[in-house]
């Protein structure tokens, strides 16, 4: 039976600020067009000087970067292949692409999460889940946002970090070495949900480029932050 992940929530207040800024730009632009419409056209000066000379050839084609240095190849690559493999001897529960609707189902309010993911340009995601011999449940998510207008992942990470720090089910956090703002949390108090036995949950998050990495470790005994960090490190090595 799949263990429930820790409750996660989606922030939506940033959209109000964004919408207000857009309205302000539109209003200023309309005023400028009105002023220009009432002005007499200014004649353009005559063209002078020689036309630019086109180069004779395109020049040598630069050599392609090796895969280890070509970060774009990683960000465009197959997320399923980038997921950490299920450890030998453990039972794989799931390994699949994660649609927008699938990802929204992981949140406390799926309908609101779905709208938020659309607004923040959810691009794609992949999911891996497995259990070990002690029935501990491991989950890894790789999520990419398009980030065409502005990067969303740093804001999401800050919000989730604030939630985790104020959640009594999590203990003290550890920074993820080699990352800007990656963190992991061990468990503190167990979660007791109707229909489930009490479980302890550890959680971690980090980002590599526009790839957002989330990991969870759910167990019947307390989860150490070091165990969550070990799983996070294994995943980050593949990115």
| Per-domain residue ranges of the chain | 90-237
The secondary structure of 55-89 as a DSSP string is: PSS--PPPPPPPTTT-HHHHHTS-HHHHSPPPPTT
Does the pLDDT of residue 35 top 70, yes or no? no
Length of the chain: 239
Per-residue confidence (pLDDT) for residue 65, from 0 to 100: 55
Residue percentage of the chain with pLDDT more than 90:
57
For residue range 168-202, what is the model confidence (pLDDT) as tens digits?
Answer: 999 999 999 999 999 999 999 998 888 888 999 99
For residue 181, what are its two tokens?
Answer: 């703002």
Dihedrals φ, ψ of 139, to 5°?
-135, 135
Torsion angle in degrees (nearest 10) through CA of 224, 108, 167, 239: 40
Does the pLDDT of residue 161 top 90, yes or no? yes
Is 223 within 8 Å of 201 (Cβ atoms)?
yes
Which residue is associated with the tokens 């929204």?
A: 104
CA 229 to chain centre: 18
The CA distances from residue 205 to 40, 149, 208, 232, in Å, are 59, 23, 10, 8
SS3 (DSSP) at 186: strand
CA distance 95 to 108: 22
SS3 content of the chain, % helix, strand, coil (to 5): 30, 25, 45
For residue 33, what are its two tokens?
Answer: 């067009």
Which residue is associated with the tokens 């929530």?
A: 9
Does the pLDDT of residue 237 top 70, yes or no? yes
Is 179 within 8 Å of 236 (Cβ atoms)?
yes
Per-residue confidence (pLDDT) for residue 70, from 0 to 100: 53
Confidence class for position 139, pLDDT limits 50, 70, 90? very high
- Asked whether the whole model's pTM tops 0.85, one would answer no
Average pLDDT of span 49-65: 62
Per-residue confidence (pLDDT) for residue 194, from 0 to 100: 84
């Amino acid at each position: 039976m799949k263990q429930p992940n820790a409750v996660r929530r989606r922030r939506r207040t940033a959209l109000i600020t964004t919408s207000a800024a857009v309205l302000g730009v539109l209003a200023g632009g309309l005023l400028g067009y009105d002023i220009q419409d009432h002005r007499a056209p200014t004649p353009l000066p005559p063209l002078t000087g020689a036309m630019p000379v086109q180069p004779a050839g395109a020049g040598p084609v630069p050599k392609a970067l090796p895969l280890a240095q070509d970060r774009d190849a990683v960000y465009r690559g197959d997320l399923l292949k980038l997921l950490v493999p299920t450890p030998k001897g453990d039972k794989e529960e799931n390994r699949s692409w994660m649609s927008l609707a699938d990802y929204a189902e992981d949140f406390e309010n799926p309908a609101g999460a779905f709208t938020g993911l659309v607004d923040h340009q959810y691009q794609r995601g992949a999911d891996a889940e497995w259990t070990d011999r002690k029935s501990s449940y491991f989950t890894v998510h790789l999520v990419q946002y398009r980030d065409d207008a502005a990067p969303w992942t740093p804001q999401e990470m800050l919000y989730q970090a604030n939630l985790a720090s104020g959640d009594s089910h999590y203990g003290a956090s550890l920074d993820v070495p080699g990352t800007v703002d990656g963190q992991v949390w061990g468990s503190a108090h167990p979660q007791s949900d109707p229909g489930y036995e009490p479980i302890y949950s550890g959680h971690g998050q980090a980002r590599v480029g526009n790839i957002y990495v989330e990991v969870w470790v759910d167990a019947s005994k307390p989860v150490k932050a070091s165990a969550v960090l070990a799983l996070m490190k294994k995943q980050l090595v593949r990115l």
